[in-house]
């Protein structure tokens, strides 16, 4: 018989949230998908500990965290390069790790990249909201971001840890190339602005979060002045506020917005590991 267990949060770090694969299908009610910013990284962590890929884990941002399991179990950490310790024993990112009951698990600050994902055998068993356990930092749906002293329930393990010694992670790049398709309001911008968007580098701003990655660089001037009624937004939409600096929407994005969307990024996953200062270049989907 498997004893019920809990995950104790000794140090939560800058931003640690519960995430799974999100809550798709609710945009018509104003609810974004949310979920892990790198869904593949969380799926890998779950496979390593024998969980279903949809199980909930933790998304850990930049500064790491310190946890303790009240029962023996298996964990896996994926994502950014970081030091992992189980008690006094070192562990590796990208491998299943056995954790004895009561042992402190330390995930250090990200040395390269920005985020890690932690899976625990049995999954994080907080109550689902709209079919997902994900924390939505914009709407407040799901459990709140973790704080020191929190405890999280663990589910019952349903599979064996994966028999692997090493997995290949997605390296964090100093420069990102993102494929961009024209957005519904690309014609609100001057031809020169559209050329700038595809020919000049932008930089990831420190002012960013799970809602969106703000970029700084050449401002994009509009050809159409005036106000735009709020309209639908999707993951990867590149909205341009009044200052002309593009904003790429991520998992916790609003479902509507009133600034024009100049384009839509095909795959925003690389931005999950993009630290402030990272260079971003856009290109058309055919290149």
In a domain, 160, yes or no: no
Final residue belonging to a domain, choices 154, 184, 204: 154
Q: Does one domain contain both 181 and 249?
A: yes
Q: Does one domain contain both 145 and 179?
A: no
Alpha carbon distances (Å) from 157 to 20, 82, 94:
16, 26, 19
Residue 227 confidence (pLDDT): 83
In a domain, 13, yes or no: yes
Token digits of residue 280: 């971003």
In a domain, 135, yes or no: yes
Where residue 197 falls (left for φ over 0; alpha for ψ -120 to 50; beta otherwise) is alpha
In a domain, 90, yes or no: yes
In a domain, 159, yes or no: no
Q: Does one domain contain both 23 and 135?
A: yes
Residue 242 confidence (pLDDT): 93
Q: Does one domain contain both 141 and 201?
A: no
Query: Which pTM was predicted?
Result: 0.94
227: containing domain: 175-283
Q: Does one domain contain both 211 and 241?
A: yes
Final residue belonging to a domain, choices 154, 183, 204: 154
Q: Does one domain contain both 88 and 222?
A: no
The CATH number of the domain holding residue 269 is 2.40.100.10
C-alpha 257/C-alpha 83 separation (Å) is: 40
In a domain, 169, yes or no: no
User: Consecutive sets of 10 residues in the chain, 287 residues long: mean pLDDT of each?
Assistant: 80 98 91 95 97 97 97 96 96 96 98 96 97 96 98 94 77 88 96 96 95 97 90 96 96 94 97 96 82
Q: Does one domain contain both 21 and 82?
A: yes
In a domain, 231, yes or no: yes
Q: Does one domain contain both 82 and 179?
A: no
C-alpha 81/C-alpha 83 separation (Å) is: 7
Helix or strand (DSSP H, E) at 263: strand 261-265
Give the number of domains in the chain: 2
110 close to 77: Cβ distance less than 8 angstroms: no
In a domain, 164, yes or no: no
Residue 62 confidence (pLDDT): 96
Alpha carbon distances (Å) from 35 to 22, 51, 131:
4, 17, 12
Q: Does one domain contain both 191 and 239?
A: yes
Q: Does one domain contain both 144 and 204?
A: no
Q: Does one domain contain both 132 and 180?
A: no
Helix or strand (DSSP H, E) at 46: helix 39-49
Q: Which residue has the tokens 């260079």?
A: 279
Q: Does one domain contain both 179 and 146?
A: no
Residue 256 confidence (pLDDT): 94
């Amino acid at each position: 018989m498997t004893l019920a267990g809990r995950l104790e949060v000794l140090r939560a770090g800058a931003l640690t949230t519960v995430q799974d694969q999100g809550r798709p299908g609710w945009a018509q009610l104003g609810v974004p998908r949310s979920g892990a910013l790198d869904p593949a990284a969380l799926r890998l962590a779950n496979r390593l500990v024998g969980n279903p890929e949809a199980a909930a884990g933790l998304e850990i941002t930049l500064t790491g965290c310190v946890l303790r399991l009240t029962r023996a179990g298996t964990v896996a950490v994926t994502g950014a390069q970081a030091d992992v310790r189980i008690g006094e024993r070192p562990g590796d990112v990208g491998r299943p790790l056995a954790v004895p009951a009561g042992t402190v698990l330390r995930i250090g600050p990200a040395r390269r990249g920005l985020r890690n994902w932690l899976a625990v055998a049995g999954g994080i068993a907080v109550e689902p909201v709209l079919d997902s356990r994900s924390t939505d930092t914009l709407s407040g749906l799901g459990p709140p971001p973790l704080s020191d002293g929190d405890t999280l329930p663990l589910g019952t393990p349903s599979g064996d840890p994966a028999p692997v010694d090493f997995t290949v992670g997605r390296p964090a790049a100093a420069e990102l190339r993102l494929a961009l398709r024209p957005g519904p309001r690309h014609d609100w911008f001057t031809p020169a602005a559209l050329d700038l968007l595809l020919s000049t580098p932008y930089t990831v701003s420190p002012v960013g979060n799970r809602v969106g990655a703000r970029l700084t660089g050449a401002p994009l001037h509009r050809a159409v002045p005036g106000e735009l009624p709020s309209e639908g937004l999707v993951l990867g939409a590149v909205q341009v506020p009044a200052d002309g600096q593009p904003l790429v929407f991520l998992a916790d994005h609003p479902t509507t917005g009133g600034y024009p969307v100049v384009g839509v990024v095909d795959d925003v996953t690389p931005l999950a590991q993009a630290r402030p200062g990272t260079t971003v270049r856009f290109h058309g989907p055919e290149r």
